Amino acid sequence: MVALAPPPWLVRGARAAWQWQWLQLMAGLGPADAGGRYRRPAAAFSHCPPLPDDAGIPGRHVLIVGRSCPWAHRAWLVWSLRGLAPTIELVVVEPDPAAGRWRFPAPFESCSTLAELYQRSGAAPGSRATVPLLYSRSQGQVLVGESARLIELLNRWPAAPDAPDLEPAAQQGATDHWRERLQHTVNDGVYRCGFARNQQAYDEAEAALFDTLAAAEETLAQAPWLSGPQLSLADVQLFPTLIRLELVYAPLFGVSRRPLWQLPALWRWRSRFHDLPGVAATCCPEAWRRDYFGALFPLHPSGIIPAAPELATLVGICPGRGGDVDPPI
C-alpha cells in the first residue's frame, strides 16, 4: 500500500498552527524585541557587592552552579582556577525540565528549589531563579546572581599566593574590550541565533557571532590569550561557549557555518584552556547535551539527543594541522 501525502490544506493549516504555538512557547523561553531579536532578561541580584568581611573564612559562602549552564560554568572556572574550594563550598543544582526550574539534590538552607532560595533572599516577585549565584550562610542571603559581576568578585576573593589574577592590570583595557564584545555577540550571540524569531534576526546575530570569532582568531594567532600574555576573565568568558560549540550550539542553534577547525588559533586556544588544572572537571558534555536537547522543546520537539563527537577529539590536535599545538602557558 502506498502512503498518501497529506492534502495541501492540511499542511498549510498544521504549519500555521505550529508557528503560532511555537511563538507562544518561545515567548516564555526567550523574550524578544519587536524585530524578533532575542533579549536576555535582567538577572536578579545583579549588583556587584564589595568583598564580604568574612570572605576567605571556611564555611561561610557557597557557590551554586548548574552543569549545563554556560553562565554558571564561567563562575565554576574562576572558582577552580583560583583554588577557592577551601573557603567557598560548591553546590551543583539539577534541572527539573517538567517544572522549568533548578532543584537542589538535597535540601539546602531548608529549600528544595533555587526559586525558594531566591524568594527567601528577597528577590522581586516573578524574578527568574538562575545560576550561578554566591550565597552567604552568615547573612542567609544571595550576595550576587549575575555571572559577569560574580566572576569579578571571585577574582578578588582571598586565595593562595600562587592563585592567578584574572584581571592583570597591564591588560585591563583589552580584557574589558573583549569581555564586552563576547558577552553580546558570542556568549549571548549563540542564543540570539537559536531564539531568533525570524530570518533577519538570525542573520544579524549569526554574522556578529562569526565576526567576533574571526577577530579572536586574528588576536590569538599573535598572543597566547585573548587580552595579552596572561590568562584573563576574557578567556574565562569565551571558553564555556566554545567548548559547547560542536556538541550543542551548532546542531541546536544553527551556528555551523564555520567549524572551529577552520579557526586553528582558536582551536589551539581551546585545547590550552581545557588543559589548565581543574578545567576538565568542570566540563560535563553528557549533562550539556541531555539538558539542552531535552529541555528546549520549542527548538527540538522530538527530545532526541543526536550523536556527537567525543569531547576528547575537540580538545586535541587540530585536524589538518599535524602536531602544531601550542604548549600550555
63: closest CA among 43, 46, 39, 80?
80
Span 228-243, average pLDDT: 98
201: closest CA among 30, 43, 24?
30
Q: Residues 261-318: pLDDT tens digits?
A: 999 999 999 999 999 999 999 999 999 999 999 887 667 778 889 999 999 999 988 7
User: Where in the chain are the domains?
Assistant: 61-156, 170-314
Is there a shared CATH topology between the 61-156 domain and the 170-314 domain? no
Helices first, then strands: H and E counts in the chain: 12, 6
Span 165-180, average pLDDT: 98
Specify the 3-state DSSP secondary structure of 176.
Answer: helix
Span 102-120, average pLDDT: 96
CATH topology of domain 170-314: Glutathione S-transferase Yfyf (Class Pi); Chain A, domain 2 (1.20.1050)
Of residues 251 and 327, more confidently modeled: 251
- Residue labelled with grid coordinates 550543542: 248
Task: Supply the pTM of this predicted model.
Answer: 0.92
Residue 13: pLDDT above 80? Answer: no
Q: Are strands 101-108 and 111-113 parallel, antiparallel or unpaired?
A: antiparallel
- pLDDT at residue 322 in the model: 47
Span 119-131, average pLDDT: 89
- Supply the mean pLDDT for the chain: 90
Of residues 324 and 14, more confidently modeled: 14
| Beta bridge mates, 111 | 108
CATH 1.10.3720.10 fits 61-156, yes or no: no
Residue 110: pLDDT above 80? Answer: yes
Confidence label for 179 from pLDDT (cuts 50, 70 and 90):
very high
* % of the chain at pLDDT higher than 90: 74
Confidence label for 19 from pLDDT (cuts 50, 70 and 90):
low
